Amino acid sequence: MSSLCESNSSSHGNGDLVEQLASGFKIALQGAFGEAGTATDPSIKVAANPKFGDFQANFAMGLAKTLASSHGNHPKEIAQLVIDHAPQSLRDLCEPFEIAGPGFVNIRLRPTTIANALTAMDNSTLGVPNAKGLRTVAVDLCGVNVAKQMHVGHLRATIIGDTIARLYERLGWKVYRQNHLGDWGLPIAMTLAALRRAKIEIARVTLDDLNTAYRNAQAQGRDDEPGLAAARATQVGPHRIAELEAQHEGAAVALADAHDTLRRLQSGDTSVVADWQKLIDVTMCEVYETAATLGVDLKPDHNRGESFFRDRLAPTVDAFVQAKLAERDAGALVVRFADRERPLLIQKSDGTSLYATTDLAAVRYRIQDLGAERVVYCVDARQRDHFRDVFDAVRLIGWTKLPSGSDAHLVHVPFGAVLGPDKRPLKTRSGENFTLKALLDEAVARGRREVRARSAIPESPTAGMSSDELDAIGQAVGIAAIKYADLSSDVARDYVFDLDRMVSFEGDTGPYAQYAHARIAGILAKASGRDADCPIALVNAEERALALALLRYSNAVEDAAKQLAPNRLAAFIHELANTFNAFYQACPVLRGVDDATRASRLRMCDITRRVLADALSIMGIVAPNRM
């Protein structure tokens, strides 16, 4: 597995301890076992338990297995031999090594090693490596449909996608956010046709109107032809057949109208195109507003909807036909795969294309036009099979090839459903989807209520703040509650939406992290004048633990990006906040300590605050200085 940043992290002077230890053990491994040692991963991990030290090296057991034929060494002997070959540069970093269990090498760092590493990361990078725009990723996120309100499903596609985009941005990648809007094709035409039939003035239409029209259009267009055939075959009552026939005719009329509208839209009929544009404007206006509320970077620049690819659909289909990868089946064009029955449909029997076609055109655009070496899709887990097929089709035709000759990496990040208390997909009492707006309004109201309640206490740091200030803080808290709850568990899993738990502000929540940040900000505000370059002294266990937690930041960011797992970052945030709170409890910063200790602890507070704020900003969460 290659590093996210090809350039050697140690050259950044970020004091990455794991890398320093790993390179030291590599030298030792080579010294002890030559070729076989060079090929061995030192496997440096954070210690499973603090009593085993700070880190552990787990190479010995695996190496014993590969060496078994030629040597007869036990893992413990192998570990000892490697330790005997440890270069002085490695020995200088650590207390004497210990071998324990089946062959673990326990590593305890010298306090100066930790202090030096912490000093080295105390700059604007906070130790995080930077690819300097030399690597490129496209992130498919949000994926709203025109004329439809955003609902909870879009919450995940939006904030998970935004966080992944921010992770890569933080690592210095060139990031293209791609909002794959549903803004083209029959569904939009149906809505448009329904609006025009109803003589609704499109210039003044609202998103609610559109939403209603969309639903009505879908209902009108629903044709139960199979049902009708079945009814005739089984000779059910004439009443039922008549009913189905009427529905069939109504649907036929609506569909014919929609098809006509679609034809005019596609041929550039100025009046239809103008109305269509208005639908998009009305829809997106609210999407941008919601994105802003959520702290998500989503703008018109990021729109790469179905309509954007409309002229690329025919060439896409042609390419598959030319490559003899597509074949006719019952009038439609399908791509078949060697290892599964299910084909990928890329053209309907009436000659029009469908969603897979757009997805294929979009992958090609992202790799060949944007130059993305990775394309990440933040889309509902139910579309697993679909993306598997699309990705395989792209590989078959060879569109993953980059100019450099290497292959672009396609990844679907499948996320689970948001469930209600009944463990069923979250719905309102009347069975409708919750609009995202309603959900966010509720969360913001709860956040504001909590913040106001606290500001009413005279000793509170927020006492006497203006109503606007409290509202802003309350909003930050409410949004953080929702986002952190979503991003802190494995995205692939379903989760139960429980606002009470999210906004409880206790335990592993967004507000807990914000609170830790605000506490530190409070200390720093009280400390008048501090020495930013003072020596860092690590005496207490809590100081040492805090320093080690801070030093894990770069790995947490890289790991979260590599695994496309925001919950890894959330786990880091929670652990850091936790470790800081313990430090804070045990180590006075401003009172009753000598100047050197005070300066050292203040510096650690400062770094901690910046790391917390930085990590939260990757999740698009605001960290207020007071709350």
Partner RNA sequence: GCGGCCAUAGCUCAAUUGGAUAGAGCACGAGCCUACGAAGCUCGGGGUUGCAGGUUCGAGUCCUGCUGGCCGCGCCA
Separation between Cα atoms, residue 293 and residue 296, nearest integer Å: 8
Whichever of 174 and 312 has its CB closer to RNA, that residue is 312
Q: How far is the CB of 174 from RNA (least distance, A)?
A: 24
Which residues, 6+ apart, have CB-to-CB distance to 42 below 8 Å? 21, 22, 25, 26, 29, 57, 59
CB 195 within 8 A of CB 275: yes
Which residue lies nearer to RNA by CB, 459 or 468? 459
Distance CA 96, CA 108 (A): 8
DSSP 274: H
| Nearest distance from C-beta of residue 445 to RNA, angstroms | 14
Please state the closest distance from residue 545 (CB atom) to RNA, in A.
9
Sequence letter at residue 551: L
* Nearer CB in complex with RNA: 118/470: 470
Question: In the complex, what is the shortest distance from the CB of residue 533 to RNA, in angstroms, rounded to a whole number?
Answer: 20
3-state class (DSSP) for residue 503: coil
CB-based burial, 262-273: b 16+ in 10 Å, e otherwise: bebbbeeeeebe
Identify which of residues 174 and 335 has a Cβ nearer to RNA in the complex: 335
Give the C-alpha separation, 122 to 74, whole Å.
42
| Integer Cα distance of 618 and 297 in angstroms | 11
Question: Minimum CB separation from RNA for residue 57, in Å?
Answer: 9
Distance from C-alpha of 617 to C-alpha of 165, rounded to nearest angstrom: 12
Q: How far apart are CA 137 and CA 170, in angstroms?
A: 13
User: In whole angstroms, how close is the CB of 347 to RNA at the nearest point?
Assistant: 7
Given the complex with RNA, which of 364 and 448 has the nearer CB atom? 448
Minimal CA–CA distance to 618: which of 290, 173, 285? 173
Nearer to RNA (CB atom), residue 174 or residue 308: 308
Smallest separation, CB 167 to RNA (Å): 14
CB of 470 to RNA, least distance (A): 9
Of 202 and 485, nearer to RNA (C-beta) is: 485
- State which residue, 134 or 586, has the beta carbon closest to RNA: 586
Q: Is 524 exposed, middle or buried (0-12, 13-18, 19+ CB in 10 A)?
A: middle
CA dist 272 and 257 (Å) reads 13
